[in-house]
Amino acid sequence: MTTLTLAELAGQSLGESTVGYRDTDTMLYAIAVGAAPDDLDLVYELDLRALPTMACGFGLWAVEATGRLGAYDPHRSLHAAQRLVVHQPLPTAGEIVMSGRVEAAWDKGEGKASVVEIEVTSDYFTAGYSIFLPGTGGWGGERGPSSPRGEAPAYSSSGEVETTASQAVLYRLTGDRHPIHVDPEVARANGFDRPILHGLCTLGAAARETAVLSGAHPADLTSLEARLAAPVLPGDTVRVEATEADSARKVSFGAFVEDRAVISAGTATFGAVK
């Protein structure tokens, strides 16, 4: 396999991948992001609905494929931001064909970092992944867009997500088996005292709680964007704060462990998919 450089990544096709899953996988995902026993249409096959954030996990194959191109060490990369647009409701079981592409590679400067933007598309959703590569800047690429630094939203409601000590080992059964979430030695090698919770688990739980705070059904999510600002440890209590929905049913949200932001610049839109 040809090894690429960071300068050669942008525009690289990652090919196609097909995910097949059963209704038990759909229910497992919902439970792994905190669905309760009385959320019957998320945990019971009778009138089951799929949580749209499950799609973010489906597209991780493209992130892994990008890491295999040789431009950077995938074990020294961080999932920094996530985007999702829902085109039609996910089936509760079936197969989804996806295609992947590296949209951009940004050079944040000598001695700093690079950011790789990866996009996965399907008939059901488009998912975007921002991958942060510390210490890799200075290769001569464009700096790319900077994150906007506006005032914090005026949150008007809040709720709590109680993670469990087993949350990471449960969530990894949905498909993300990175050892940093289960192996203490791998976690310590990456600077953590113990295994951390998956960022997409935190995001899925926060999106579900944001729907509750907004009076929406979490399966009615049509778009989502957020920065994964800091890791959560299994057992942490995550406080989710949200604004009032605007006329387009768009909500701003953030998630915090005590005073530390773990998800920032979050926006979610709820409504029937057209």
Is the pLDDT higher at 178 or at 98? 98
pLDDT at 32 over 70: yes
Q: pTM, whole model, 2 decimals?
A: 0.95
Predicted pLDDT of residue 189? 85
Interatomic CA distance for residues 134 and 221, integer angstroms: 32
Q: Average pLDDT of the chain?
A: 95
Predicted pLDDT of residue 247? 87
Domains and CATH numbers, the chain: 1-139 (3.10.129.10), 150-274 (3.10.129.10)
**Residues annotated catalytic, as ranges:** 176, 181
Predicted pLDDT of residue 17? 98
Residue 227 is encoded by which pair of tokens? 């920065």
Interatomic CA distance for residues 54 and 67, integer angstroms: 22
Residue 94: which region, alpha, beta or left (left: phi > 0; alpha: psi -120 to 50)? left
DSSP-assigned letters across all residues of 116-128: EEEEEE-SSEEEE
Q: What separation, in Å, do the N-terminal and C-terminal C-alpha atoms of the chain show? A: 42
pLDDT tens digits, one per residue of 252-274:
999 999 999 999 999 999 996 55
The share of the chain scoring above pLDDT 70, in percent, equals: 97
Longest dimension (CA), the chain: 56
Q: Is 241 helix (H, G, I), strand (E, B) or coil?
A: strand
Predicted pLDDT of residue 95? 98
Predicted pLDDT of residue 1? 55
pLDDT at 44 over 80: yes
